[in-house]
C-alpha cells in the first residue's frame, strides 16, 4: 500500500532536482551578465580614467654623502678609505589639508551604465625642512616635491601650484623612492628662500571611475569630501570622523594623525599603504540582488511542490508529474525574467513585472490543475506573499538573516498547524486504495454455477 506514495515522493524529489538544475543555470546566466558589466567598467576605465589614488606631496632632496673610514688592509696597515653614497632626504608634511567635491556622472557601454566622477580639490600642505643627521660631507642635488595619482589620464587641465606664494610647475615623472614610484614632481630650484619651511597649495581637477582614495601622509591630516551622490561607500582603512548622507548627497570629513596612520612608515618600508576611500556605488546592484534571489528559489519550489503533495493526499486529487514540472519551470523562469528586466528598468519595477507575470501565469494554470478556481487563487495568494517576503529580504540586507529565519519558521509553523490532525498512515492507505482501480464485478451464475446470459 505504501509503494505508490513512496514512488510519488521519489518522483517529486527527482523533479525538484531538475528544477534546482534550472535554477543553477539561471544563476550562471546572472554571473555571465555580471561579467559583461565588469568588462564594460574596464572598457570605460581604459578610455576615461580608472579609480584614483592620490599620494603626496612629499619633499625629496637628493644628495651625495662623502665619508671616510679607517680600515686595515691585507698587510695590516691602517688606511683612510673614502665612501660616497647617493641618498634622498625625505620630509613628510606636518599638515595635510585636502578639501573638494566629487561631481558624479555616467558613461554608457551597451546596456550598462558606469559611474564616473570629476574631483575638484584644493590641497594645502606645510613641510618643515630638516637636514639628515650625518658626519660626512653633503652635496645637495635639485630638490623636488614628489606626488602621484593612480591614472594620470584623469588630470583635467593643468593643476595650479604655488610654493610659498610663488607659482610652480608640476611635471610628469619621478624617481623610485624605496619602492614607491611617484609619477609627478614639482621642481624646487631654490630652497634657501624658503626659510626652512614650505607652504604648498595645489588646485587640481581629477577624473576617475567609481572610487577615490587618499593617502594620509601628514603628521596631521584633515580631509573633507562632498558630493551629490546619495549612496557612498566609505571604505579603506579609515572611516570618516563625521558624515552626513541624505537625499541631497553626502559630506564627510576625516581627521587623522601620523600616530593613527602608519602611512609614512609604510612608504619608507615599501609596504602597502593605508588609505581612506570613498566609492560611488549604485544604490541597488541588480546582479547582486538577483543572485541572492535565486538562493531562495528552492524555497519556492519546495513550498509549491509540498502544497501539491498535500492536495494529493488530503483531497485525493491526482497531479501528474508533468504538471509538477511545468509549475517548477514557471517558478524558475521568474529569476531569468528578473535579471532581464533589471537591465532595462529599476530593480523594484523589474521585480514587480517579473513576479506579476509569473504569478498570473501560474494562478491561471493552477485553476485547471487543481480543478477549482478558489484553490488556484489560494496558491496564487501564497506565491504573492512569498514573492513579497523575498523582496523584503533582498532590500533589507542588514536584516536578511533574521527575516529569512523568521520566514522559514513561519512557513514551518503554518504547515504544522494545517496538518496537525492528519493521520498520515490512514491518508497513505486511502490514497493508495483510491489509486488502485476496483476489480470487475463477478459474472452472474445460477445455482448450478452456469453463467446466466443476458
Digit-coded pLDDT (tens) for 105-157: 988 887 788 889 999 999 999 998 888 887 778 888 889 999 999 999 999 98
pLDDT in tens, 364-376: 988 888 888 888 8
Q: What is the pLDDT of residue 426?
A: 65
- Find, among 278, 281, 295, 273, the residue nearest to 243 by Cα: 278
DSSP of 345-400, one letter per residue?
S-HHHHHHHHHHHHHHHHHHHHHHHTT-HHHHHHHHHHHHHHHHHHHHHHH-GGGH
Nearest-angstrom CA–CA distance, 206 and 159: 9
8 Å CB contact between 427 and 4: no
User: What letter would DSSP give residue 439?
Assistant: P
Question: What is the spatial distance between Cα 87 and Cα 141, in angstroms, rounded to a whole number?
Answer: 10
The pLDDT of residue 100: 95
Residues 238, 216: Cα–Cα separation, whole Å: 10
Question: Cell numbers of 157, please?
Answer: 587641465
The residues facing 174 across adjacent strands are none
| Degrees, nearest 5: CA angle 91-96-101 | 140
Residues 118, 48: contact at Cβ < 8 Å? no
DSSP assignment, residue 117?
Answer: E
Which triple of cell numbers denotes residue 204? 587640481
**In Å, how far are 104, 197, 230, 340, 363 from 346, measured between CA atoms?**
19, 54, 16, 11, 26
Nearest-CA neighbor of 123 among 49, 221, 208? 221
**What phi, psi does 126 have (nearest 5°)?**
-125, 130
Q: How is domain 51-282 classified at the CATH fold level?
A: Immunoglobulin-like (2.60.40)
**Residue 52 has what pLDDT?**
94
- Rounded to an integer, the average pLDDT of 181-196 is 77
Does 77 have pLDDT greater than 80?
A: no
**Rounded Cα gap, residues 124 and 203, in angstroms:** 9
pLDDT (mean) for 82-91? 85
Q: How many Å from the N-terminal Cα to the C-terminal Cα in the chain?
A: 37
Q: Does the structure show a pLDDT above 50 at 1?
A: no
Structural contact between residues 178 and 87, judged by C-beta atoms closer than 8 angstroms: no
Mean pLDDT calculated for residue range 386-405: 75
How many CA atoms lie within 13 Å of 323's alpha carbon, on the beta-carbon side?
17
pLDDT value at 10 more than 70: yes
User: Where does the chain hold its CATH 2.60.40 domain(s)?
Assistant: 51-282
- Cβ atoms of 245 and 233 closer than 8 Å: no
Among residues 294, 327, 284, the alpha carbon closest in space to that of 309 is found at: 327
Hey, which of 17-21, 93-97, 230-234 has the most confident mean pLDDT? 93-97
Phi-psi region of 14 (alpha: psi -120 to 50; beta: other; left: phi over 0): alpha
Q: Is 442 helix (H, G, I), strand (E, B) or coil?
A: coil
C-alpha cell at 385: 506573499
Q: Is the distance from CB of 196 to CB of 186 less than 8 angstroms? A: no
| Beta strands 242-246; 249-257: pairing state | antiparallel
Q: Determine the pLDDT at residue 432.
A: 53
**Cβ(118)–Cβ(207) under 8 Å?**
yes
Quick one: cell of 354? 517579473
Q: What is the pLDDT of residue 433?
A: 54
Amino acid at each position: 500500500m505504501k509503494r505508490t506514495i513512496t514512488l510519488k515522493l521519489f518522483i517529486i524529489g527527482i523533479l525538484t532536482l531538475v528544477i534546482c538544475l534550472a535554477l543553477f543555470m539561471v544563476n550562471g546566466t546572472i554571473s555571465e551578465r555580471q561579467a559583461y558589466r565588469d568588462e564594460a567598467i574596464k572598457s570605460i576605465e581604459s578610455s576615461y580614467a580608472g579609480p584614483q589614488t592620490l599620494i603626496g606631496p612629499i619633499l625629496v632632496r637628493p644628495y651625495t654623502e662623502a665619508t671616510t673610514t679607517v680600515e686595515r688592509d691585507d698587510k695590516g696597515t691602517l688606511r683612510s678609505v673614502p665612501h660616497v653614497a647617493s641618498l634622498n632626504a625625505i620630509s613628510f608634511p606636518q599638515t595635510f589639508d585636502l578639501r573638494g567635491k566629487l561631481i558624479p556622472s555616467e558613461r554608457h557601454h551597451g546596456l550598462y551604465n558606469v559611474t564616473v566622477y570629476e574631483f575638484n580639490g584644493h590641497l594645502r600642505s606645510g613641510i618643515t625642512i630638516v637636514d639628515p643627521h650625518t658626519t660626512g660631507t653633503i652635496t645637495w642635488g635639485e630638490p623636488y616635491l614628489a606626488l602621484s595619482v593612480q591614472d594620470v589620464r584623469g588630470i583635467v587641465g593643468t593643476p595650479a601650484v604655488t610654493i610659498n606664494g610663488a607659482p610652480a610647475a608640476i611635471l610628469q615623472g619621478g624617481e623610485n623612492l624605496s619602492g614607491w614610484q611617484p609619477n609627478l614632481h614639482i621642481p624646487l630650484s631654490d630652497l634657501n628662500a624658503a626659510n626652512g619651511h614650505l607652504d604648498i597649495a595645489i588646485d587640481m581637477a581629477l577624473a576617475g571611475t567609481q572610487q577615490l582614495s587618499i593617502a594620509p601622509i601628514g603628521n596631521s591630516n584633515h580631509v573633507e569630501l562632498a558630493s551629490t551622490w546619495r549612496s557612498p561607500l566609505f571604505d579603506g582603512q579609515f572611516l570618516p570622523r563625521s558624515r552626513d548622507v541624505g537625499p541631497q548627497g553626502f559630506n564627510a570629513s576625516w581627521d587623522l594623525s601620523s600616530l593613527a596612520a602608519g602611512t609614512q612608515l609604510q612608504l619608507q618600508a615599501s609596504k602597502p599603504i593605508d588609505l581612506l576611500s570613498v566609492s560611488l556605488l549604485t544604490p541597488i546592484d541588480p546582479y547582486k540582488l538577483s543572485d541572492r534571489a535565486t538562493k531562495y528559489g528552492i524555497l519556492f519550489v519546495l513550498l509549491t511542490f509540498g502544497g501539491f503533495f498535500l492536495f494529493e493526499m488530503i483531497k485525493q486529487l491526482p497531479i501528474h508529474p508533468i504538471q509538477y514540472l511545468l509549475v517548477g519551470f514557471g517558478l524558475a523562469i521568474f529569476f531569468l525574467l528578473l535579471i532581464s528586466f533589471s537591465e532595462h528598468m529599476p530593480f523594484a519595477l523589474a521585480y514587480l513585472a517579473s513576479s506579476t507575470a509569473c504569478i498570473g501565469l501560474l494562478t491561471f494554470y493552477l485553476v485547471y490543475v487543481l480543478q477549482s478556481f478558489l484553490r488556484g487563487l489560494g496558491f496564487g495568494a501564497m506565491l504573492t506573499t512569498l514573492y513579497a517576503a523575498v523582496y523584503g529580504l533582498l532590500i533589507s540586507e542588514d536584516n536578511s538573516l533574521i527575516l529569512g529565519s523568521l520566514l522559514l519558521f513561519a512557513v514551518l509553523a503554518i504547515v504544522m498547524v494545517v496538518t496537525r490532525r492528519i493521520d498520515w498512515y490512514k491518508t497513505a492507505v486511502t490514497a493508495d486504495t483510491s489509486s488502485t482501480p476496483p476489480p470487475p464485478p463477478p459474472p452472474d451464475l445460477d445455482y448450478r454455477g452456469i453463467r446466466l446470459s443476458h
